[in-house]
Amino acid sequence: MICPRCNDEHVEVLADSPVPDVWQVFQCQHCLYTWRSTEPLRRTSPEHYPEAFKMTQADIDNAPMVPSIPPLLPEDQR
């Protein structure tokens, strides 16, 4: 299985349905996209996943930081 959003191959199971064998929730360990197996194809299949929502390595690297991390205060002012 590969991630529908970033095509990475490292996908793990995050949850199984309380009623056995109905669905599973998967999570991509690279872009952290999370989906349930019973969702529509546009959310679960790499071929059908909308181009606009695909996530590349550059998207991850360049994502703005919210909020930015402040400089550490000197030890004596903490």
Partner 1 sequence: MPYDDLRGFLEALDEQGQLLRISEQVKAEPDIAAAANATGRIGEGAPALWFDNIEGFTNARVAMNTIGSWQNHAISIDMPANTPVSEQIAEFIRRWDKFPVAPERRDNPPWAENSVDGDDINLFDILPLFRLNDGDGGFYLDKACTVSRDPTDPDNFGKQNVGIYRLEVKGKRKLGLQPVPMHDIAIHLNKAEERGQDLPIAITLGNDPTITLMGATPLKYDQSEYEMAGALRQKAYPIATAPLTGFDVPWGSEVILEGVIESRVREIEGPFGEFTGHYSGGRNMTVVRIDKVSYRTNPILESLYLGMPWTEIDYLMGPATCVPLYQQLKAEFPEVQAVNAMYTHGLLAIISTKKRFGGFARAVGMRAMTTPHGLGYVKMVIMVDEDVDPFDLQQVMWAMSAKVNPAGDLVQLPNMSVLELDPGSSPAGITDKLIIDATTPVAPDNRGHYSQPVKDLPETKEWITKLTDLIAQQAKERK
Q: What secondary structure letter does DSSP report for 33?
A: -
The candidate with the shortest Cα–Cα distance to 3, out of 23, 21, 25, 28, is: 28
The set of residues, in sequence order, having a beta carbon less than 8 Å from that of 31 and lying 6+ positions away, is 3, 5, 6, 8, 55, 60
Residue 33 CB, nearest distance to partner 1 (Å)? Answer: 6
Q: Which is nearer to partner 1, 47 or 64 (CB)?
A: 64
Nearest distance from C-beta of residue 38 to partner 1, angstroms: 6
Q: What is the DSSP letter of 53?
A: G
Binding site for partner 1 (CB under 8 A): 5, 14-15, 17-19, 22-23, 25, 27, 31-36, 38-40, 42-43, 50, 52-53, 55, 59-60, 63-67, 69-73, 78
Q: Least distance in Å: CB of 35 to partner 1? A: 7
